[in-house]
Chain A
């Protein structure tokens, strides 16, 4: 699905990723764990194609194609989805209008027919229920005045609506209490599928109790320093990142 080789990336002139290599297999949930400042969010932004995140070396191959050559919106249409740590508030655009514009834009780019307003409304409503995204939230301006939990639920609703092939979840657990976390995790688990991969980025092992990964990679100082199965999370929980951070960059 996704193969990252020797990735170097800079943000504002500062090198954050320093030779990161990672392979995410189709259908797998792959967790990236790491301390603050290790480059987790940078990795997610580089994959989604954010301006200002400059790749200076290395490659990212996504389903046989050079991901780094694609525009941000093209990546989305081809199935890359980034659930953000801090979803942006956009006053003046209602959530429903946004969902409709985004879904239809992706379909247009893929050469598929657009949905009419009624079919989208039905589709969204059907998916919104399980995630407890209310009618009121759909009518309000995008993320404006939403609680942390509401914002994260809306991210997962988008994931469920866009049906991405490669979902990247950046610190989806941050700012959530245990009930909100369970709800979000259930939403994510419902989307696990043999043809969908997920990259779950987290600082804490807590999220991985609910979204159990197939593989775990540990990121420190801009590169992967350790890989293993789901048991690695428990080990990190016990020992912390201290040992790993000692590894010279």
Chain B
């Protein structure tokens, strides 16, 4: 069978699978805060078309394959549609996207310059990155605000032994769009995946990550900030599976919710049998800026191994009145004092990005989003 025929077969499988399972809805336990079926039907997903991707400048040493071309090379065929679980919206993006992009970083190549992968327009889209043994790269994934009714992106990340990837995703405020992105990562021995998700809210926004730490010493470090106002919604759901010994992970998520917005973080950690010496730490915190905003933080630990360390903490609160008074008594106007405290709250999660230029980009977006979050509501 040719590669094109195999792809067609896989696409048919995906289509059938999506038809059978349909849209995710609140009775799917991990979709309970984002009832997609209530607002969108399967036909709209099928007819949404294909979103666009753009890479202006591909760093030297990175191979690129346009998924719109049917005859794909082996490295694409091995992974496309095969990384991670076949979740229903992932199958939908595979079934309906007429395009997308695949990237490969060859063994041992260290790509210092970030790959800027911009996602635009309405529709379904797929992207894939394969990091071979010892390779490293950084990928910056900004989304433009023109998602129309729906943008549904399926992402696959395959990391071979000792590879490293830093992934920074930034989704703007899109009050009329449904924005879904499901990311699947497989990490082999000693692979290190770092991600940061900055979300500014959509009519319904779902950022979901599932990573399998499948080799000894593999690591995942996730962080994110969400700043919402008006009717914004953002649901970040992560599932980290410690499937090998001495794997480690951290999750640090900070949310600021104002107006009538809703911020969700669900963090599931599974430690499989045999994953001894695994270490996972999760922190999720939310600041509510208005009485009508809502935050749902839901940690979940499932542990099948002994001798593991898992810690989690979740808090939802208001700005500290005493801190606010202290700053105002020093002459800072109330609005400025609030802003300083919000920035201080978010700071730790933004700093986790670790790259000065990207940190500055994210701060810039946060500053643009804060006035919405701080607007008073009745």
Contact for A105 among B326, B333, B348, CB less than 8 A: B333
Separation of A185 and B322 alpha carbons in the complex (Å): 26
Contact for B340 among A82, A101, A109, CB less than 8 A: A101
Q: Is the CB of B326 within 8 A of A87?
A: yes
Nearest Cβ on chain A to B222's Cβ, whole angstroms: 20
B39 contacts the other chain (Cβ, under 8 Å)? no
Task: Give every chain A residue within 8 A of B273 (Cβ-Cβ).
Answer: none
Give a binary string over A13-41; 1 marks a CB under 8 Å from any B CB, 0 the rest.
00000000000000000000000000000
A229 contacts the other chain (Cβ, under 8 Å)? no
Binds B, one of A45-53, A56-64, A206-214: A45-53
Separation of A209 and B363 alpha carbons in the complex (Å): 50
Q: Is the CB of A77 within 8 A of B331?
A: yes
The count of residues in chain B whose C-beta lies closer than 8 Å to any C-beta of chain A is 23
Contact for A76 among B320, B321, B331, CB less than 8 A: B331
Q: Given A73-B333, A101-B336, A105-B332, are A92 and B325 neighbors across the interface (CB < 8 Å)?
A: no
Task: Give every chain A residue within 8 A of B321 (Cβ-Cβ).
Answer: 51-52
Q: Is the CB of A102 within 8 A of B345?
A: no
Sorting the interface of chain A by its residue count into under 10, 10 to 19, 20 to 34 or 35 or more gives 20 to 34
Separation of A103 and B327 alpha carbons in the complex (Å): 11
Task: Give every chain B residue within 8 A of A106 (Cβ-Cβ).
Answer: 330-331
Q: Is the CB of A72 within 8 A of B329?
A: yes
Q: Is the CB of A162 within 8 A of B331?
A: yes
Separation of A125 and B343 alpha carbons in the complex (Å): 26
B169 contacts the other chain (Cβ, under 8 Å)? no
Q: Is the CB of A90 within 8 A of B341?
A: yes
Give a binary string over B303-338; 1 marks a CB under 8 Å from any A CB, 0 the rest.
000000000000000001111011111111110110
Contact for B329 among A48, A98, A109, CB less than 8 A: A48
Contact for B328 among A52, A73, A90, CB less than 8 A: A73
Give a binary string over B329-368; 1 marks a CB under 8 Å from any A CB, 0 the rest.
1111110110011011101100000000000000000000
Contact for A88 among B323, B331, B334, B343, CB less than 8 A: B323
Task: Give every chain B residue within 8 A of A50 (Cβ-Cβ).
Answer: 325, 329
Nearest Cβ on chain A to B370's Cβ, whole angstroms: 15
Nearest Cβ on chain A to B174's Cβ, whole angstroms: 29
Nearest Cβ on chain A to B318's Cβ, whole angstroms: 13
30 residue pairs from A and B, CB less than 8 Å apart: A49-B328, A50-B329, A51-B321, A71-B334, A72-B334, A73-B329, A73-B331, A73-B333, A76-B328, A76-B329, A76-B330, A81-B329, A84-B326, A84-B329, A88-B322, A90-B326, A92-B345, A92-B348, A93-B340, A93-B341, A101-B336, A102-B330, A103-B331, A105-B331, A105-B332, A105-B333, A106-B330, A106-B331, A158-B330, A162-B331
Minimum-distance CB pairs A-B, first 3: A92-B344, A106-B331, A76-B331
